[in-house]
């Protein structure tokens, strides 16, 4: 291992890349090779030693293959009350036979598309993992919502992951929505076993003007899963995009969320909850770029950390010189439940315009002892009182999930965790 | 019902209570008065089980059981209720959910069956009338953004819901307007019975016109330095605490 350069780790992936989207793949490869995997002290990955983690854990650097799945397994993994569209993936590859969806959606494998501008939203030059995915993704999904179409029920992207040999899973998602289109997506992965694998996912979302899009995600991978994911979207005039990300488990998780507000009167919302125990490490890097006047961004990330878990939050807000009348709000609050849990939080605001409203704040503390005593003094036992307080803390994020069955599902997972483990 | 013997307590190594003795029988109302910082809230907190305080000496029996051995929630279930001087705001926890959890845990302890949503609601309605608390207040998060007076009223409402044996009201009168004072006192009086007892901590004689005490105690520097009937409160109203302080200091010299 020691003789390898940072670029060499993923050579087998690069060498076995498919031949479609050749130009983009070469560009991705080029970017990946130029940047290399993040070195030990790389600023953007300072607290998340992802390269080391991958090299220690992933033994077989190849894209994990497609596997068989039956309908029962799919049905069991859909949460109660959900009746929207379902797209099924195995190791990142779309399984159309097991999927069924709203006829107003147009869906295909990426390999069945010719001219997708892959990489035009999530740019490979910004992150080596985006480059790696662009160079070597085996296949992915193309989702399109036509102009003025409103997809009433959410679309569930249900991914089954299994890699008993410690391999790589590289999902690629392209979503486009026409002007005035409305849709929301739920991203949910199921680990088929507890073995290690590395997910390197890229989601690009292209919204039209006056569009309303939501992307909700729950991450409860197996304890040995390593994941890097990038979600990037351009938000146009009079449009709204909302992301809610709930992280519950995994070995090491890094989420990059990039919102580009490129049309006025647009709104970008970022909500996140990380509820961690054991040695789980979750790093949320968010970036919102205000390039035009009269746009708004709201961000609230909250963490509850037990045991030896580790949380990282980095929230960048750029307000460019032209982006007057911007409203940008950011908040990150953490509760540490053990002495060994650690959070590193860093707001990074760069404001070049002068007529803007921006605020940010971050807090890290213990559970409020005064409040805990108050509840206990009314007869509520300690565990339940803690649960009530933590749940109240977490609820502020979950309430932003607009789809009821998914919100209920998240609430039940979160309250189970808060009742038992914490 | 409550028997406090030579109770000493300190916080972060500083002794605050320095030998409290107090006997309270069922049916009685005891008022505790005393200058700021004398230890009244500390006594209330120690009885309710706040863990920051360390009991260094003494004993407290509640209905024959060792109170100091119990966790705060056990004390509450056994029937101790503290109306906080400064009720805590708890964002995100709904007043109704909180109360239902509390009421049912207390009921379970007392061998009563849990109340279902319907029964709980009708109990709430009944008790709400007693302290004339607005339904709107209870549909909000617990104490969040409540005015000072609203918080105090909510404390007495919770007391009514939990039906304690021993209620400790820590300056429940402060922050209440005159009408609210009457309503709240009236509520407390209606909840009074031959089986339960009340400790009222207050600075003002006025409250004691409504909630008439059987005994009045003066707490000073962590000790009960004087006890009497409700006339003592009148005397304090008139003369302040200086004469008592002088009495104490002169005894200390001798
Ligand atoms: N953490 C602490 N460390 C040191 N001293 C403390 C601490 N907490 C409280 N005290 C002190 O304990 C003493 C008693 O406080 P307590 O709140 O019991 O007084 P009180 O009689 O209720 O006063 P008031 O009439 O103002 O409500 C005060 O002098 C207070 O400053
Ligand atoms: Mg006090």
What is the distance in A from the centroid of ligand 2 to the CA of B235?
A: 21
Q: How confident is the model at residue B227 (pLDDT cuts 50, 70, 90)?
A: very high
As a whole number of angstroms, the distance between CA A64 and CA A198 comes to: 10
Percent of chain B with pLDDT over 70: 99
Rounded average pLDDT over A166-188 = 96
Beta carbons of A381 and B93 less than 8 Å apart = no
Could you write out the three-class secondary structure of chain A? Answer: CCCCCCCHHHHHHHHCCCCCCHHHHHHHHHHHHHHCCCCCCCHHHCCCCHHHHHHHHCCCCCECCCCCCCHHHHHHHCCCCCCCEEEEEECCEEEEEEEECCCCEEEEEHHHCCCCCCCCCCCHHHCHHHHHHHHHCCCCEEEEECCCCECCCCEEEEEEECCCCCCEECCEEEEEECCCCEEEEEEEEEECCCCCEEEEEEEEEEECCCCEEEEEEEEECCCCEEEEEEEEEEECCCCEEEEEEEEEECCEEEEEEEEEECCCCCEEEEEEEEEECCCCEEEEEEEEEECCCCCEEEEEEEEEECCCCEEEEEEEEEECCCCCCCEEEEEEEEEECCCCCEEEEEEEEEECCCCCEEEEEEEEECCCHHHHHHHHCCCCCHHHHHHHHHHHHHHHHHCCCCCHHHHHHHHHHHHHHHHHCC
What is the distance in A from the centroid of ligand 2 to the CA of B170?
A: 7
Predicted TM-score (pTM) of the model is: 0.88
Measuring CA to CA, which residue among B86, B22, B11 is closest to residue B46? B11
Q: Does A419 touch chain B (CB under 8 A)?
A: no
Per residue in A270-310, pLDDT tens? 999 999 999 999 999 999 999 999 999 999 999 999 999 99
List the 122-141 stretch of A: residues with Cβ below 8 A of B: none
**Average of per-residue pLDDT values in chain A:** 94
pLDDT at A40 (0 to 100): 79
> Quick check: B202 and B33 in contact, CB under 8 A?
yes
Q: Does B192 touch chain A (CB under 8 A)?
A: no
For A129, phi then psi, to 5°, come to -70, -30
Q: What's the Cα-to-Cα distance from B72 to each of A326, A388, B1, B52, B110, rounded to whole Å?
A: 49, 17, 18, 12, 16
- Whether the per-residue pLDDT at A419 is higher than 90: the answer is no
Contacts of A335 in chain B (CB under 8 A): none
Q: What's the Cα-to-Cα distance from A354 to each of A351, A357, B69, B186, rounded to whole Å?
A: 8, 9, 61, 58
The residue whose C-alpha atom lies closest to atom 31 belonging to ligand 1 is B37
- Other CB atoms within a 10 A radius of the CB of residue A392 amount to 19
Q: How confident is the model at residue B252 (pLDDT cuts 50, 70, 90)?
A: low
Ligand in closest contact with the CA of B170: 2
Percent of chain B with pLDDT over 90: 74
pLDDT at A3 (0 to 100): 44
* R_g of chain A computed on alpha carbons: 21
Per residue in B46-73, pLDDT tens? 999 999 999 999 999 999 999 999 999 9
Contacts of B97 in chain A (CB under 8 A): 388
Of B11, B54, B168, the one to substitute when testing ligand 1's pocket (max ligand atoms within 8 A of C-beta) is: B11
Q: Does A380 touch chain B (CB under 8 A)?
A: yes
Rounded average pLDDT over B222-236 = 91
List the 224-263 stretch of A: residues with Cβ below 8 A of B: none
Per residue in B15-29, pLDDT tens? 999 999 999 999 999
**Average of per-residue pLDDT values in chain B:** 92
Beta carbons of A385 and B71 less than 8 Å apart = no
**Ligand 1: residues within 6 Å at CB?**
B 11-12, 14, 16, 34, 36-42, 85
- Whether the per-residue pLDDT at A1 is higher than 60: the answer is no
Q: How confident is the model at residue A60 (pLDDT cuts 50, 70, 90)?
A: confident
What is the distance in A from the centroid of ligand 1 to the CA of B17?
A: 10
Cα three-residue angle B196-B200-B205, rounded to 5 degrees? 135
Contacts of B93 in chain A (CB under 8 A): 375, 388-389, 392
Q: Pick from A368, A379, A396: which is nearest to B105 by CB?
A: A379
Q: Does A370 touch chain B (CB under 8 A)?
A: yes
Question: Encoding tokens for residue A229?
Answer: 């994911």
Per residue in A4-13, pLDDT tens? 566 788 888 8
H/E segment holding residue B15? strand B14-24
pLDDT at B76 (0 to 100): 97
pLDDT at A7 (0 to 100): 75
Q: Pick from A378, A389, A391: which is nearest to B158 by CB?
A: A378
pLDDT at A421 (0 to 100): 45
* Residues contacting B176, CB < 8 A, separation 6+: B149, B152, B153, B184
Cross-strand pairs, A350: A318
Q: Pick from A368, A377, A392: which is nearest to B82 by CB?
A: A377
pLDDT at B56 (0 to 100): 96
Per residue in A362-416, pLDDT tens? 999 999 999 999 999 999 999 999 999 999 999 999 999 999 999 999 999 998 8
Q: Tally the C-alpha atoms within 13 A of residue A365's C-alpha that lie toward its C-beta.
A: 8
Beta carbons of A391 and B92 less than 8 Å apart = yes
Of B18, B34, B40, the one to substitute when testing ligand 1's pocket (max ligand atoms within 8 A of C-beta) is: B40
Interface A:B, Cβ pairs < 8 A? 74
């Amino acid at each position: 291992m020691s003789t390898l350069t940072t670029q060499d780790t993923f050579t087998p992936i690069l060498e076995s890349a498919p031949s479609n989207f050749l130009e983009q793949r070469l560009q991705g490869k080029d970017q990946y090779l130029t940047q290399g995997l993040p070195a030990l002290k790389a600023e953007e990955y300072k607290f998340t030693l992802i390269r080391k983690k991958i090299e220690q854990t992933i033994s077989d650097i190849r894209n994990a293959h497609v596997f068989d799945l039956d309908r029962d397994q799919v049905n069991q993994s859909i949460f109660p009350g959900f009746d929207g569209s379902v797209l099924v993936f195995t190791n990142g590859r779309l399984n159309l036979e097991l999927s069924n969806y709203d006829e107003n959606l147009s869906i295909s494998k990426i390999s069945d598309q010719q001219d997708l501008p892959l990489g035009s939203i999530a740019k490979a030059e910004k992150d080596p993992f985006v480059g790696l995915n662009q160079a070597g993704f085996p296949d992915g999904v193309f989702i399109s919502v036509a102009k003025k179409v409103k997809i009433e029920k959410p679309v569930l992207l249900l991914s089954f992951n299994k890699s008993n040999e410690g391999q790589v899973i590289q999902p690629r998602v392209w979503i486009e929505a026409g002007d005035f289109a409305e849709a929301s997506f739920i991203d949910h992965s199921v680990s088929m076993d507890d073995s290690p694998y590395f997910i390197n996912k890229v989601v690009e979302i292209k919204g039209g003007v006056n569009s309303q899009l939501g992307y909700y995600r729950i991450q409860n991978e197996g304890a040995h899963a390593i994941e890097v994911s990038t979600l990037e979207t351009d938000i146009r005039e009079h449009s709204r995009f909302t992301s809610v990300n709930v992280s519950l488990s995994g070995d090491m998780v890094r989420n990059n969320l990039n919102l580009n507000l490129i049309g006025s009167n647009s709104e970008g919302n970022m909500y996140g909850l990380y509820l961690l125990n054991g040695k789980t490490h979750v790093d949320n890097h968010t970036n919102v770029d205000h390039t035009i006047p009269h746009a708004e961004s709201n961000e609230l990330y909250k963490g509850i950390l037990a045991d030896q878990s580790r949380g990282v939050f980095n929230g960048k807000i750029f307000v460019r010189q032209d982006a007057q009348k911007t409203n940008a709000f950011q908040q990150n609050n953490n509760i540490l439940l053990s002495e060994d849990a650690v959070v590193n939080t860093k707001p990074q605001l760069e404001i070049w315009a002068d007529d803007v409203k921006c605020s940010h704040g971050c807090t890290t503390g213990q559970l409020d002892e005064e409040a805990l005593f108050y509840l206990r003094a009314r007869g509520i036992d300690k565990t339940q009182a803690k649960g009530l307080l933590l749940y109240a803390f977490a609820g502020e994020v979950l309430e932003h999930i607009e789809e009821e069955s998914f919100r209920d599902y998240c609430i039940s997972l979160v309250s189970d965790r808060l009742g038992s483990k914490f | 019902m409550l028997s406090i013997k030579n109770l000493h307590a300190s916080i972060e190594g500083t002794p605050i209570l320095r030998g409290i003795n107090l006997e309270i029988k069922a049916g009685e109302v005891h008022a505790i008065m005393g200058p700021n910082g004398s230890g009244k809230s500390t006594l209330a907190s120690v009885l309710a089980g706040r863990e920051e305080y360390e009991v260094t000496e003494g004993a407290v029996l509640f209905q024959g059981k060792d109170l100091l051995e119990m966790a705060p929630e056990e004390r509450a279930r056994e029937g101790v209720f503290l109306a906080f001087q400064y009720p805590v705001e708890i964002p995100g926890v709904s007043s109704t959910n909180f109360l239902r959890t509390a009421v049912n845990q207390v009921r379970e302890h007392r061998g009563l069956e849990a109340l279902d949503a319907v029964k709980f609601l009708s109990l709430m309605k009944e008790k709400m009338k007693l302290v004339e608390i607005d339904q709107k207040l209870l549909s909000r998060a617990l104490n969040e953004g409540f005015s000072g007076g609203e918080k105090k009223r909510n404390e007495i409402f919770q007391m009514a819901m939990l039906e304690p044996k021993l209620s400790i009201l820590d300056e429940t009168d402060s922050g209440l307007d005159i009408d609210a004072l009457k309503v709240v006192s009236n509520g407390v009086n209606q909840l009074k019975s031959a089986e339960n007892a009340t400790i009222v901590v207050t600075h003002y004689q006025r409250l004691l016109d409504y909630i008439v005490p059987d005994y009045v105690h003066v707490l000073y520097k962590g000790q009960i330095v004087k006890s009497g009937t409700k006339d003592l409160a009148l005397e304090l109203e008139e003369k302040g605490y200086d004469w008592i302080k002088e009495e104490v200091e002169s005894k200390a010299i001798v």
